Amino acid sequence: MKKDLTSLSDEKLVGLYKSGLNEAFAVLLNRHKDRIYNYISFVTKNESLADDIFQETFIKAVVCLQKGAYNENGKFGAWLSRIAHNLLIDHYRRTNYENTLSNDEAEYDLFNDMKLCEESIEDDLIREQQLKDVVALLDFLPDNQREVVYLRFYENLSFNEIAEQTGVSINTALGRMRYALINLKSMAKERVLV
């Protein structure tokens, strides 16, 4: 009865793992390990840290699967990427929190001295307002274009992953992004002129 598990889809393997077949998760791990590890390694540029976050990613995946917290209408690979991405963010938040500097004890404003930093608070405020303006413009895009923009820039998915998740070809995903950017540029120009 032992069939070749490697020919099964991710969703079928998830179902088999949930029903108690541990070999199904081994196939999932083997299928996605290189891509997930390479992503983590690229971001961290630290082999030891990449190993830790990689292991934590798959441990979290196992725990979520066992608790039934995996939403099966998504793609398993994209779900794993999100777990890894969130763990990386958590790591860097902790690291940045531990290395926080205080400006209170300085005789002058360290964080707004143009000689010491590339951008001032004003630059940050302008960029933040521009981002809010772009986000507001997203609401005017057609649903399929807005979805591609969101998946690319907010979920950090590749166009291949976007194509898989939305059920279209990679050329269609690229085309939707192209038209979304053209539309955003056009709307931004109109908004400045008003």
Mean pLDDT by 10 residues, the chain (194 residues): 77 89 91 91 90 93 86 79 89 70 51 51 69 77 87 83 89 90 83 51
**CA dist 57 → 61, 129, 170, 190 (Å):** 6, 34, 27, 44
- Number of Cβ within a 10 Å radius of residue 177: 18
Are 78 and 61 in contact, with CB atoms under 8 Å apart? no
pLDDT at 193: 42
Token pair belonging to 179: 């038209």
Are 176 and 190 in contact, with CB atoms under 8 Å apart? no
Domains of the chain listed by start with CATH number: 1-99 (1.10.1740.10), 118-189 (1.10.10.10)
pLDDT at 34: 92
- Cα 17–Cα 19–Cα 24 angle in degrees, nearest 5: 20
pLDDT in tens, 130-166: 667 777 788 888 888 888 888 887 778 888 889 988 8
Token pair belonging to 97: 């929190």
pLDDT at 166: 86
Buried b (16+ CB within 10 A) or exposed e, 115-134: eeeeeeeeeeeeeeeeeeee
pLDDT at 23: 92
Token pair belonging to 8: 């099964």
